[in-house]
Amino acid sequence: MYDILFFVALPYVALVLFFLVGITRYRRRPFSVTSLSSQFLENRKHFWSTVPFHYGVIGVLLLHLAGLMIPDTMLAWNAAPVRLVVLEVTGLALGLMALFGLVNSMIRRVQSPRIRIITNKSDWVLLALLLIQIVLGILVAIYNGWGSSWFAASATPWLWSLFTLNPDLSYVAGMPLLVKLHIINAFLMIGFFPFTRLIHVIVIPNPYLWRKTQVVRWNRDRKRLRIRD
């Protein structure tokens, strides 16, 4: 019963919220579709938060996406033990790097008064969900290892059964608790996605991934205003 709730109902509710609220927000409040960068409020800790976090998370997401889109290629790649270990260690390292960046960004939000003031409740909920998700992902990689293979064999058919509106939860019903929690939290994040600054992810094109860095600076006399770092 809980399996139907978590692995059929929750994903659909999350996806409906994702699209419905996402589109509504874009139509009603287009200027709120932003990452709300705080780079020019604090820039030293910012680098060691955002850079490791984003490269780590994007790498890990691409690996998950590969498992979903090209499962046979993943299994073929993993047929040689050396390739499998290279892929798994890379995935774990990217996850650890994302965790390092995320923890730094949480410390930065607590420590810097300027950042604290622009941080709202949805940011904290999002940071908590991200922290839980990354820690669970790392634990799965360690204790239920070689997910790059079994994801392609079990999670991929289940996800496609959801997308084709013919849900078959038998593929995930027998998964260990850590894996189930990782999946549930992922769909909680997808549902919560359009209510948070995560919305910046879907602003395509995303040229800030490759464009040159942009230096934002104050156009006023900081000395006179007595603003100190």
The site for another protein (CB under 8 A) is made up of 4, 8-9, 12-13, 16-17, 20-21, 43-44, 47, 51-52, 55, 72, 75-76, 78-81, 84-85, 88-90, 92-97, 100, 141-147, 149-150, 152-154, 157, 166-168, 170-171, 173-176, 179, 213, 215, 217-218, 222-223, 228-229
Nearer to another protein, 117 or 165 (CB): 165
Residue 4 CB, shortest distance to another protein, in Å, is: 7
Residue 72 CB, shortest distance to another protein, in Å, is: 8
Residue 218 CB, shortest distance to another protein, in Å, is: 8
Residue 120 CB, shortest distance to another protein, in Å, is: 21
Nearer to another protein, 4 or 128 (CB): 4
Q: What does each C-alpha distance from 102 to 109, 119, 193, 223 come to in angstroms?
A: 11, 15, 17, 33
Residue 216 CB, shortest distance to another protein, in Å, is: 10
Nearer to another protein, 91 or 130 (CB): 91
Nearer to another protein, 57 or 175 (CB): 175
Q: Report the C-alpha gap between 98 and 80 in whole angstroms.
A: 27
Nearer to another protein, 127 or 178 (CB): 178
52, 100 Cβ separation under 8 angstroms: yes
